[in-house]
Structure 1
Amino acid sequence: MTIQHVAIVGGTHGNEITGLHLVQHWQESPDEVLRNSFATELHIANPQANRIMKRYVDQDLNRQFALEDLNNTALTNYEQSRAKAINHMLGPKEDPRVDFVIDLHTTTANMGLTLVISENSPFLIGMAFYIKSHMPETVLFYEPKERLDDYFLASLGRHNGLLIEVGPTPQGLLRADVYDLTRRATLHALDYIEHTNRGDVLDLPDSYEAFEFVDTIKLPESTDGRRWGMVHPSVQDQDYQPINPGDPLFLTFSGEVIPYSGNATHYLAFVNEAAYYDRNIGVSLMNKITLQRP
């Protein structure tokens, strides 16, 4: 397998400006992202949302890239139309022009440097392992999907893509540490592609600890959708830490503790993610797994 075209995308969410500024920097000073064996192109995904500093104008852009939706001409709001334009630019998804996509994101949750792995392929898992071998603080977030059904922008790549998620950082804010983690992870991803194209033998571990997505849990809400509770203080900032049945999970506005009602220990992610308040989601649940390199 040879990678010929790589797209680095920033600003998919308009108020996540780390990736936006990295892409703009590389557009002005591209030498850092140039490699000998493939072409690197740089794109800003959601310029209108960037201008108004909101996650989206009408709808989350990073949920619009399932093949069925891209081919549905009745879906015409701003982000739905923008997804079709990006698909025309990088795809089409059924037979993409671009081989691999790196999509840059930030989170308000305390998730550090997280790589979202959407496919159990030797290439993609090898890339994640390569980055983690150079940046041991990296967390591997495993959420496999069929590429054509996957609604993330990164799935437009012929050989899929990598979503880099770094936090915590408030929406609309630049933090130098988050910027640096994102930059270094991206450059390691490009180096890995260069090594792969050259046929270099890389000394990588056979496995790493990872977290596999299970489900989300909503914040306490009434039958009419009104929120009446928040994430419990003992859970706040505890991303990738265990939660056991009966542990405190939420706290109502009147001070009542709502325990975790699951029947098994899970691990937390996207704890109190501000971007998910539009769907009233409080936390994601994960299983800790050993991810093997195929």
Structure 2
Amino acid sequence: MDKINTVAIVGGTHGNEYSGIYLLRQWDKQPEIISRSTFSTETVFANEKAFEQNKRYVDFDLNRQFSHDDLNNPNLRGYEQCLAKSLNQQLGPKGDARTDFIIDLHNTTSNMGPSLILLQSDEFNRKMGAYVKQHMPSAVVVFEDHASVEEHFFLSSLSLQGVIVEIGPQPQSVIRQDVLDWMAEMTKHILDFIELHNQADVPALPRTYEAFKYTETLSLPLDEAGERAGMVHHSVQDGDFKPLKDGDPIFTLFDGTEIFWEGDYIAYPHFINEAAYYDNNLAMSLAEKLIVHTD
């Protein structure tokens, strides 16, 4: 891959995910922490209005507004829809962006630990995942390469290369030191890897490592009236990236009835019971485990 010249670190895409916001404030005071010799780094506070209102978003989830169709649709005039167009001008435009690489910082209420979400599985991303895990053994790598970067609607898809740093568990509108420290460390390793890539000096990496590949999203059970009828089973709750096998309990209805996973693969739930996803009645994402080859 070509040299990366410009990197944007984005925080506050969701206004009540505080770790990235407060890290940006610190890095703005100490820019040497995120500065490297072979590329320029800028910080972007994506949704200050949502932060001021202590909400995830004002009108619409900002991190779902970056499809080509939506960015080019003049009839979409909600606050985040207009903000997405402005960010597209600032960092993009999508498909021909002036920004080479975006690091988008997020918190989750789910027990995912320090997770690195990659939108591509090309050699650069495979090696970056290996480098991060080599220097941060607690890190989990998740590939969301079921769609091309052009087809994704995340903010990080504005650039040709981009990642999502997703750290939890952290309640909304709260700061936790362990979570903030994980986010700062993972960001450092990503920046270090880009620097080494630019210098053609990436060190020896493990030939393989374990990661996860997104497969599908499950919804919470509903009754005939469309009302929520149950919850995530207690044996699944907080068990992000632990195996779920065919026949394992996955939901409990409010009347006590258990619902069991019916799947033809061993699934690894994550984003389990994410508070922000209740707007869409989503219960969790599922993934398969895979062995990633770095060569």
TM-score by length of 2: 0.96
Aligned length: 293
| Residue pair 2:116, 2:166 contacting (<8 A) in 1 also | yes
Question: Which residues of 2 match residues 48-63 of structure 1 at below 5 A?
Answer: 48-63=49-64
1:153 and 2:161 matched? no
Equivalence for 1:97 = 98
Q: Which residue number corresponds to residue 260 of structure 2? A: 259
How far 1:120 sits from its partner (Å)? 1.6
Structure 1 position 68, deviation (Å) = 1.8
Q: Which residue of 2 aligns with 1:120?
A: 121
After superposition, the Cα gap between the structure-2 partners of 1:117 and 1:235, relative to the gap in structure 1 and judged at 3 Å, is: same
How far has the Cα of 1:284 moved from its partner? Answer: 1.3
Report the counterpart of residue 64 of structure 1 in structure 2.
65
Rounded to whole Å, the distance in 2 between the matches of 1:225 and 1:276 is 16
Structure 2: runs of 5 or more not aligned: none
Structure 2: distance between partners of 1:30 and 1:211: 33
Letter matched to residue 7 of structure 1:
A
Deviates most, 116-125 or 94-103: 116-125
Once the two structures are superposed, residues 236-293 of structure 1 have per-residue CA deviations (whole angstroms, 9 ceiling, x without a partner) of 1111111112211111112111111223321111111111101111121111111222
- Alignment partner of 2:125: what SS? helix
Provide the identity percentage. Answer: 47
Whether the aligned pair in 1 keeps the contact of 2:95 and 2:159 (CA below 8 Å) is no
Looking at structure 1, the residues matched to 254 and 65 of structure 2 have their Cα atoms a distance apart, in angstroms, of: 35
Q: 1:92 to 1:252 in 2, by over 3 A?
A: same
* Alpha-carbon distance between aligned partners in 1 of 2:93 and 2:211, rounded to the nearest angstrom: 31
Task: For residue 204 of structure 1, report the CA deviation from its aligned partner.
Answer: 0.8
CA contact under 8 A between 1:124 and 1:161: conserved in structure 2?
no
* RMSD across aligned positions (CA): 1.1
Give me the whole-angstrom Cα distance separating, in 1, the residues matched to 2:73 and 2:5. 29
Q: 1:201 to 1:247 in 2, by over 3 A?
A: closer
TM-score, normalization: structure 1? 0.97
Deviation at 1:94, TM superposition (A): 2.1
Note closer, same or farther for the CA distance 1:192–1:201 as it changes in structure 2 (3 Å cut): closer
The residue number in structure 2 matching 1:271 is 272
Letter of the 1:120 counterpart: S
Q: What is the CA-CA distance between 1:81 and the residue it aligns to?
A: 0.6
Which secondary structure state, in structure 1, belongs to the residue aligned with residue 279 of structure 2? helix
Native 8 Å contact 2:193 2:202 kept in 1: no
Structure 1 runs of 4+ aligned residues shifted over 6 Å read none
The code of the aligned residue for 1:90 comes to L
Is residue 2:174 matched to residue 1:167? Answer: no
Deviations 1:6-31 (A, max 9, x none): 00000001110100111111112211
